[in-house]
Amino acid sequence: MTSSGDSNDSLFIEVDSITEGAGLFLGGNLFSQGIDFVKTILLTQFLGASLYGIFAYVVTLFSVVRVLTRLGSDSAILRFLPEFEDKHHKQRRFVTLAYATGLFASIIVAAALFITAPIISHYTLDNPLFVDILKITAIVLPFSTTSEISCAIFKSINKQIYDVCISSIIKPIFRLLFTSIALILGLSLYGVAAAFVVAGILTFISSIVIIWEKTHFQYPVIPTLNETRKYYDYSIPLTFNQFGGFLYNRADLLMVGIFLSEQVVGIYKISVVLSGFLLLPLAGFNQLFPPIASQLYQEGKTDRLETIYSHISRLILIFTLFPAAVIFVFPADILVIFGKEFTRGSTVVAVFVIAQMANIVVGPSGYVLMMTDHQYLTSVNTLASGMLNIVLNYVLILKFGFIGAAVATASVLSFVNIARVIEVWYLEGISPYNGAYLTALLSGIGSGLSMYSISLIVPSRYAMIAGIITGATVYGVLLSTIGLQDKDRQLLKGILSRIDTELSFSLR
């Protein structure tokens, strides 16, 4: 019989394994987001809000169509490769299915985009330049889809270093390099679109080379009929789930483009991007949580799954609270970096910070549902929320403009995340919340209140710097006294060490 101490040690090792993946992801993404931040500033400064809005709208459309080109292959890979860890021939069949599905779907969708670009433009931005940019960037779809599937393969076989290398180092470097060249040469938006395509093709080549060198998936293996059915029975529902997820996350930006101007699209997009930085910790821990959650569920270890779910949710919250407070208290001071016209989005940023915190406080509840074989419920959640988001956006955009879009989407994000955590509790009897979670939350609230107080006292030009210093001090003191357990300290120390290692590796 395994002793309690051995069980706790084993549990700590599993949580530490997830945090290792999170540390790698966060380190790589700090590097990636830094590069993207510079790239975005270049785009907004060289192009202005209107031209940047056109490019941002094309990128948003690509977020929609990539759901169709993947057809759930990225999630299916995360589900099935860990299940057949010791059966490489079975893994190869599922990998073959993923690549074949993604390649075929992306070619069809790219052709459809090229043909229908004028129609899409007529019903959205209604700008001839938008038509040209959409046609140019459609070329990259098969390459970007294949690269995303390669990254999912590395996540599923616990080789996340290569996922980080492709998605967080190689791709952003290529994008910044070729975007900078295009802007310096004065090629404007056409050059930026071409840079987007070239970067995507080079990222694809890099991903295939790494797959060939670092895995045993060099050659395709034809899957059986039963394996094909099993694959699509899982991936197709998740396609609807991902599409619904896009609708409740990004339908607002699409509808802003339909009802308002490209300049407003640019301002709104920057506001969304800024609040989106808060999702980095959640995305980081989600890198390795799904395969481990799937394995524990298949082995019937629900208690252990609940404990890991709780640990990970609390760590995500700890990493997010302070930056959320900074962005919420000082949105205009941050937005002015992109240009004065973008400060119009300050209220949108504040609204989205609240919405993203609703996403953060439930932890990886969506993945818990997926990995415990509730993929159909997950699809219903997201599709229903997506449709609700469209209705609310239509009503509120017409009444309040782009602030109405933010309120609509924030409301739906909050609703669906609360629903997920309740469903996990009802269906599986597990919850991420305990006393330690509450003390961590109180630490963040105290930090935010201290920054807000400073903003009322200190002159505006110095308020953000003074507020960040004060808020960080308060957050650190509260966390160290009431917000952290011993294991939290050990795990945080390990994560920070891995972030430092990954950043050092990235900068070499």
Each residue's pLDDT tens digit, 313-368: 888 888 899 999 999 999 999 998 888 888 989 999 999 998 888 888 888 887 78
Between CA 469 and CA 450 the distance in angstroms is 10
CA distances in angstroms from 82 to 77, 78, 135, listed in the order given: 8, 7, 38
pLDDT reported for residue 394: 92
Between CA 181 and CA 191 the distance in angstroms is 8
Identity of residue 404 = G
pLDDT reported for residue 22: 57
pLDDT reported for residue 130: 94
Between CA 203 and CA 110 the distance in angstroms is 18
CA distances in angstroms from 219 to 85, 86, 211, 260, listed in the order given: 18, 18, 11, 49
Which residues, including other chains, have CB under 8 Å from residue 508's CB and lie 6 or more apart? none
pLDDT reported for residue 185: 92
Which residues, including other chains, have CB under 8 Å from residue 116's CB and lie 6 or more apart? none
> What is the reported pTM?
0.77
Q: What is the DSSP letter of 343?
A: G
Between CA 432 and CA 418 the distance in angstroms is 12
pLDDT reported for residue 427: 86
10-residue mean pLDDT series, the chain (508 residues): 45 54 66 88 91 92 85 82 76 86 92 94 91 94 92 83 87 95 92 95 94 82 84 80 72 88 90 85 72 73 79 84 92 89 90 88 81 76 84 92 91 87 87 81 91 87 89 89 66 56 49
* HSE-CB of 199 using CA atoms within 13 angstroms: 23
Q: Using an 8 Å Cβ cutoff, are 210 and 169 in contact?
A: no
Q: Using an 8 Å Cβ cutoff, are 190 and 133 in contact?
A: yes
Q: Which two tokens stand for residue 74?
A: 């990225």
* HSE-CB of 141 using CA atoms within 13 angstroms: 31
Residue 95 exposed, middle or buried by CB count within 10 Å (0-12, 13-18, 19+): buried
Q: Which two tokens stand for residue 112?
A: 């459809």
Q: What's the pLDDT tens digit per position in 242-262?
A: 776 677 677 888 899 999 888
Q: What is the DSSP letter of 216?
A: S
Between CA 191 and CA 183 the distance in angstroms is 7
b/e 433-451 (16+ beta carbons within 10 angstroms → b): beebbebbbebbebbbebb
Q: If you search the block for the tokens 């300049």, which residue do you land on?
A: 263
Residue 123 exposed, middle or buried by CB count within 10 Å (0-12, 13-18, 19+): exposed
Q: Which two tokens stand for residue 294?
A: 């799937």
Between CA 95 and CA 216 the distance in angstroms is 11
SS3 (DSSP) at 103: helix
Q: If you search the block for the tokens 């301002």, which residue do you land on?
A: 267
